[in-house]
Amino acid sequence: MKLQYNSMELMICVAARELEDGSTLAVGTGAPCAAAMLAQKLNSPNLAIMFEAGSVSPILPEMPISVGDSRASHKAVMVSTMGAIMETCSRGYVDYTFLGGAQIDMYGNLNSTYVGGTHQKPKVRFPGSGGANDFGSFCWKMMVLTVQDARRFVEKCEFITTPGWLQGGNSRYEAGLPEGTGPYKVFTNMAVMDFEPESKRMRIISINPGYSVKDVQDNCGFELLKAPQITETQPPTETELKILREEVDPHRYVIGR
C-alpha cells in the first residue's frame, strides 16, 4: 500500500534522518523542532537539543509552542540563559542548527528581516534574527527547511539576517566567521540541496517523489547547480509517519499546515 503524506511531513522526515545519535542541535520551534523530536524518538535517542531560551538536552514530551514553553525544558539536563546557549555555539560545541527565512539566495544567506522598501520603511517587516544569526554564524552545519518558491529562493537577499557563504568561495571565512562552519543542506517540498565545495553555490542532490529537476529549477529564482549523480529522496516510512503523527505532533500544529 502506498503511504499518504503531505509535503511538510516529507520535509520533516527527510531532515530528521540527518541528525545522528550523540550530536548536538540548536533549534527553534515549528518544523525544525518536529524534525529534532522525530530523530530523538526514532534513531537518535542521545541527540542533545538546545533552545535559544536556555534549555539544554530536554526530552520533549510534545511539541512546544515557543522556545520559552515549559515543555521545551522537560527533563532537561539544565536550563541556562540565552547568553550561555550562544556562548556554547561560539565555542564550537554545537553540530547542527535548523533555520529558515523569507528569502534564501544561492549561497545560503538568509533574510528574515524585511522585504521591499528600506530597513527604516520596509514594505513587509519580519521578526528578525532572534538567535538565527548566532546559530548560523557559529554552529558547524546550518540546515534550512523551507518551501520551494521562486519568491523565496532569490538571486540576492534584500537583507542578510543570517550569513551563509556570503559571496561564495572563501568569503565567509575572510569575513571572520569560524572556518569549517556554514550552510550544509536545504530541505524543500521538492528536493534536497547542498552547496558545491569550491564555489559554495547551492546544488541539487536529491529530488523528492513526484517532482523533477525542471520543477525545482522552475521554482527557483537563480540557476541551481546539479550534483554529478542526483538521487531520488526516500519517502517517509510507515514508522516515521506513525511517530510524527501520534507522538511528535498529534495536534497537527506543524504537519497540519
Give the domain CATH number at 25: 3.40.1080.10
pLDDT at residue 3 in the model: 81
Number of domains in the chain: 1
CA 126 to chain CA mean position, Å: 18
In this prediction, residues 95-103 reach a mean pLDDT of 94
Asked if residue 255 is part of any domain, the answer here is no
The span from the CA of 185 to the CA of 162, in Å, is 15
Average pLDDT over residues 57-78: 90
Is 114 a member of any domain?
A: yes
Task: For residue 2, tell me if it sits in a domain.
Answer: no
Amino acid at 257: R
* C-alpha cell recorded at residue 91: 565555542
Query: What's the pTM value of the predicted model, to 2 decimals?
Result: 0.95
The contacts of residue 114 (CB under 8 Å, 6+ apart) are 122, 123, 124, 125, 126, 158, 159
pLDDT confidence bin for 1, thresholds 50/70/90: low
Within 10 angstroms of residue 53's Cβ, the number of other Cβ atoms is: 19
| Residue 91 one-letter amino acid | R
Q: Rounded to whole angstroms, how far apart are CA atoms 232 and 57?
A: 33
Residue 105 resides in a domain:
yes
226 within domain boundaries: yes
Cell numbers representing residue 150 in the block: 521562486
Distance between CA atoms of 182 and 11, rounded to whole angstroms? Answer: 21
224 in a structural domain: yes
* Pair 24, 96: CB distance under 8 Å: yes
Segment 89-104 shows an average pLDDT of 95
Q: Which residues pair with 146 in a beta bridge?
A: none
Q: How far apart are CA 169 and CA 166, in angstroms?
A: 9
Question: Would residue 257 count as lying in a domain?
Answer: no
pLDDT at 29: 84
Q: Are 87 and 19 in contact (CB under 8 A)?
A: no
At 193, which amino acid appears? M
pLDDT of residue 2: 73
Q: What is the mean pLDDT of residues 153-174?
A: 97
H/E segment holding residue 85: helix 82-90
**Which residues are marked as active site?**
52
> Domain of 107?
7-248
Q: Which CA distances in Å does 117 have to 32, 120, 158?
A: 30, 8, 10
Mean of the per-residue pLDDT values of the chain: 95
Please check whether residue 1 lies inside any domain of the structure: no
